[in-house]
Amino acid sequence: AQTVTQSQPEMSVQEAETVTLSCTYDTSESDYYLFWYKQPPSRQMILVIRQEAYKQQNATENRFSVNFQKAAKSFSLKISDSQLGDAAMYFCAYRGNNNDMRFGAGTRLTVKP
């Protein structure tokens, strides 16, 4: 079964600085999809960014970008110009051919003013 590992339980960043959240996964599939979800305190989980494994180009959504290394099975999230509203739990997720979504344990991001 596929597994998703987020090795950083907690991270902190100074406002306006850049932070990178790590995610690795284990799979034998060649086609799959990767996601980063954000869960703000007491609020609903929302999609931040997604990446199709067959695309070599890294996905970007405004201040959020990923570094997708397929051979290394790594999918890190970079947040540029961090804002107070970025404080949240961030979950990395994998979806393969069986359509099940596998989540990592999450990284709690704190943004310091």
Partner 1 sequence: DVKVTQSSRYLVKRTGEKVFLECVQDMDHENMFWYRQDPGLGLRLIYFSYDVKMKEKGDIPEGYSVSREKKERFSLILESASTNQTSMYLCASRILGGSSYNEQFFGPGTRLTVL
52 binds partner 1 (CB under 8 A): yes
* Residue 36 makes contact with partner 1 by CB under 8 A: no
Contact status: 11 vs partner 1 (CB under 8 A)? no
Backbone phi, then psi, for 86, in 5-degree steps?
A: -80, -10
**CB nearer to partner 1: pick between 7 and 16:** 7
Q: What pairing do the DSSP bridges indicate for beta strands 46-52 and 33-39?
A: antiparallel
Of the pair 1, 113, the CB lying nearest partner 1 is at: 1
DSSP-assigned letters across all residues of 47-87 = EEEEEETT--SPPEETTEEEEEETTTTEEEEEE-S--GGG-
Q: How many residues bind partner 1 (CB under 8 A)?
A: 25
Minimal distance, residue 91 CB to partner 1, in Å: 6
Does 95 participate in binding partner 1 (rule CB under 8 A)? yes
* C-beta of residue 94 within 8 angstroms of C-beta of residue 4: yes
Q: How far apart are CA 76 and CA 65, in angstroms?
A: 8
Binding site for partner 1 (CB under 8 A): 4, 6, 9, 32-33, 35, 37, 43-47, 50, 52, 91, 95-97, 99-101, 103-106
